[in-house]
Structure 1
Amino acid sequence: MLRRAGVHMTVSSLTDYSSLVREIGGECAFVRVSGELLVSGSKSGEVACWDLDSGKEMWRSKFEGPCSNSDSNKDFLFFTESDRVHAIVLSSGDEAWCVELEGSSDLVRVSSECIWVTSSVYNFEIQDYSEGSVWKIDYSGKVRWKGDTIGRAWSLSDFQGQAIMGLSRPKCGYAIASETGIEYLELEEKKPVTAGCKLDGGGIVFGHSNGSVTEIYGGVSSTVSLGDSAIRAMDCGSSWVVGLDSGVVSTGESLGSWKIESMESIDVVSFGPSLEDVAGIWYSSWNDKGGVFLVDSSIGSLQLELSHESRIVACFATEHTICFGDISGCIHVIEKEVLRRRFGRLPETDIESGRESELRKKIRALRGA
């Protein structure tokens, strides 16, 4: 079922609905929530942590940069930066360890017994990533195993203690890495993988450069074509949702396989808090101006549209909270209860006055005082 994103409504701003706004310093590379803490890293090498409830900054560190990707457990923040991967104690901001990799560090994922990290080398002669590596590092920072990959990994998932990687050219397909080695597997869709994630039930989903999505579950693979442009963004829960370079947002079969057509390229897409009992799907787009959209995951109906003056480049969500990081270094946090309260009190056709908006900014600033 195809729907076109509505543009008839008057639009509030992302700031109007945010319960917390903070700055990381430089273009946001990652943002995430771990327990009651909000953490973010920037392309310029800043990494900071705030208390979600009070808004108070807990710690801030400066690295060479650029930061690129992150994951966390209850004790540590793991993130890739330049040619390194770091483990930071969340409660204090102290660095537990740092491992220098070969090439540029790319993706990091936490597993039950280790963390998996990928790195790559860019070949300027062929204008592509010619080689890559995958690393298994234990929680003490010791490298347990390293394997070289053919091409760069564009997605990384942990599955039963193994690393699942979606690959670009020349190999394409995907690879399974463990201490016994790397196994390469072909997919029905031969185009390069551009995104990937793991379903709650254990399946693996890959997005491709031609707009196709491959889902692997229980050893069975299925592929669906959603358009003729690359999958730019993807998120997984019990099902999957993707955003295409052409502006299409679409879901998996269990959510009805609906499509929304936007007029702009999709930058981020995520499941997150909603206005109703069913899960919400959030996505952002950009075409000289920014927009953040909330749609009903069950039928794809547009529920909320928020304007934003800077391009959204990072996103992270839990059931109750969604966070956006933009190219100017601002972090916006939307909480479910605040979202519902403000939506019910202020219809979307009633934009806040400048005085009300300034008052909200002062209240948010006081939370971090």
Structure 2
Amino acid sequence: MSGHSLENLASFVRDLDSACSALMIEGKNLFAGSHEGVLRCWDSATGDLRWSVEVAGPISGFAVDNNRVYTTASDSLHAIDMSSGELLWSRELEGGSDYVKASNGFVWATSSVYELEVADFIEATIWRFNENGDELERWIITERPWYFDLHKDGGALLGLGRPRCGYLKIQPGEKPSHHQLQTESPVTSGCRSSEDCFLLGHADGTISSIGSDILSDSDSNSLVTDIASLDLELISGHDDGSIRMNGTQHQILGSIDSVTLLDKDGWASSWNGSDTQITILGDTTNTISHNARIRQMHSSDERLVIGDELGRLFFLEAEIVKRRRSEIGELDDDENKNSEIRARLRMLRNR
């Protein structure tokens, strides 16, 4: 897509000052966390900074419930007032914190223990707290979950790696229930496709579904690095550089880091060891080069935010992206100068 860059397509660009490690668009708020532990909230309509908090990093996930933001970072779980940014409470977990979900006044989190001698995860803990930070329950398993979400029945669902693979369902007050899938391959990624349907990506390239009888076998047979679903659209990215979207496969150089959907177009970021490329799949296929690796993308309500390893956040809106993609012509000298000016303004804004 000659003449276009992420900055050129974005409605606004913001900075975290260190590598972006977590992103979420929630209503009128944009949340982003960095590897160094900086958590910031912006107004998603204007790009104005609402508040900024620092904890021990890296930040790994967000959840929102009852005007609170919950975040997992380093070895802890934190609760933050969504309006003011006040840190309400923190709880230390065992091992490194991974995922966090919250609903109806309850907070679920996972943490895992990595053993250097065996170069693998040897244990994971699933935690359940109330909104005041009181621990209600914990469950210990021998696998690290590579996908975690809440089920509509009030429990949690976890996609597992080795040794058991498959998935777990956990209900409050009960022991975990293990379920096998049609493939015995470890789970490597996942997403929710509807209220009661979950998609899990596997190391053998398979995508399995919980909540329906769908089983999709990928032609690439390569590990699923990321997966996203919106309405009837489905996109998956793979370690060998293949992207599958609605039954069609595309091949690019490098490995796919992240995928998402924006207004029925598929977006995928890839890395070949030295260069980053963003591929946009729609009526036409376009590519954008970028000067830093992109691991984080999140879309919601026709909005998309992309975070790179330099800490920059690019906020895109479907209609604006569509209009700018249709414009013909490369960036001229004035536009390049404008890009430099915008970068200086961001530096001043974050001081």
TM-score (norm 2): 0.91
Number of the residue aligned with 1:200: 194
Q: Which amino acid aligns with 1:209?
A: A
Q: CA RMSD in A?
A: 2.1
The separation in 2 between residues aligned to 1:51 and 1:74, in whole angstroms, is 18
Number of the residue aligned with 2:331: 352
Cα displacement (A) at 1:285 = 0.9
Report percent identity of matched pairs: 28
After superposition, the C-alpha distances for 1:1-58 in whole angstroms (9 at most, x for unaligned) are: xxxxxxxx53521111111111112111011222222211011111112223332222
Cα displacement (A) at 1:261 = 1.3
Question: Helix, strand or coil for the counterpart of 1:315?
Answer: strand
Equivalent residue for 1:270, pick from 242, 260, 265: 260
List aligned pairs for 1:57-136, cutoff 5 A.
57-73=49-65, 75-136=67-128
Equivalent residue for 2:314, pick from 319, 328, 332: 332
Number of the residue aligned with 1:323: 305
Number of the residue aligned with 1:40: 32
Equivalent residue for 1:233, pick from 226, 235, 253: 226
Cα displacement (A) at 1:228 = 2.6
The separation in 1 between residues aligned to 2:11 and 2:37, in whole angstroms, is 25
Cα displacement (A) at 1:113 = 4.4
Cα displacement (A) at 1:325 = 0.4
In the alignment, does 2:276 pair up with 1:282? no
Number of the residue aligned with 1:291: 277
Tell me if the contact between 1:78 and 1:86 (Cα under 8 Å) persists in the aligned partners: yes
The separation in 1 between residues aligned to 2:161 and 2:223, in whole angstroms, is 12
The separation in 2 between residues aligned to 1:283 and 1:10, in whole angstroms, is 18
After superposition, the C-alpha distances for 1:218-247 in whole angstroms (9 at most, x for unaligned) are: 4x4634234232111111223432100111
Tell me if the contact between 1:11 and 1:305 (Cα under 8 Å) persists in the aligned partners: no
Give the number of equivalent residue pairs. 344
Cα displacement (A) at 1:146 = 0.8
Question: Helix, strand or coil for the counterpart of 1:72?
Answer: strand
Could you list the runs of 5+ residues in structure 1 that have no partner in the other structure?
1-8, 274-278
Q: Which amino acid aligns with 1:177?
A: I
Change (3 A) 1:74 1:355: farther
Tell me if the contact between 2:269 and 2:276 (Cα under 8 Å) persists in the aligned partners: yes
Change (3 A) 1:74 1:356: farther
Tell me if the contact between 2:155 and 2:171 (Cα under 8 Å) persists in the aligned partners: yes
The separation in 1 between residues aligned to 2:269 and 2:156, in whole angstroms, is 29
Cα displacement (A) at 1:366 = 6.2
Change (3 A) 1:106 1:170: same
Tell me if the contact between 2:128 and 2:135 (Cα under 8 Å) persists in the aligned partners: yes
Q: Which amino acid aligns with 1:189?
A: T
Tell me if the contact between 2:3 and 2:331 (Cα under 8 Å) persists in the aligned partners: no
Cα displacement (A) at 1:59 = 1.4
Cα displacement (A) at 1:212 = 1.2
Question: Helix, strand or coil for the counterpart of 1:181?
Answer: coil
Change (3 A) 1:60 1:339: same
Question: Helix, strand or coil for the counterpart of 2:182?
Answer: coil
Number of the residue aligned with 1:170: 163
Could you list the runs of 5+ residues in structure 2 that have no partner in the other structure?
none
Equivalent residue for 2:249, pick from 243, 259, 264: 259
Number of the residue aligned with 1:276: none
Change (3 A) 1:204 1:53: closer
Tell me if the contact between 1:293 and 1:302 (Cα under 8 Å) persists in the aligned partners: no
The separation in 2 between residues aligned to 1:25 and 1:364, in whole angstroms, is 12
Cα displacement (A) at 1:364 = 7.9
Number of the residue aligned with 2:211: 217
Question: Helix, strand or coil for the counterpart of 1:171?
Answer: coil
Tell me if the contact between 1:16 and 1:357 (Cα under 8 Å) persists in the aligned partners: no
Number of the residue aligned with 2:292: 310
The separation in 2 between residues aligned to 1:14 and 1:169, in whole angstroms, is 38
Question: Helix, strand or coil for the counterpart of 1:337?
Answer: helix
Change (3 A) 1:55 1:201: closer
Q: Greater relative contact order: 1 or 2 (C-alpha under 8 angstroms, separation 6 or more)?
A: 1
Tell me if the contact between 2:266 and 2:280 (Cα under 8 Å) persists in the aligned partners: yes
Tell me if the contact between 2:223 and 2:239 (Cα under 8 Å) persists in the aligned partners: yes
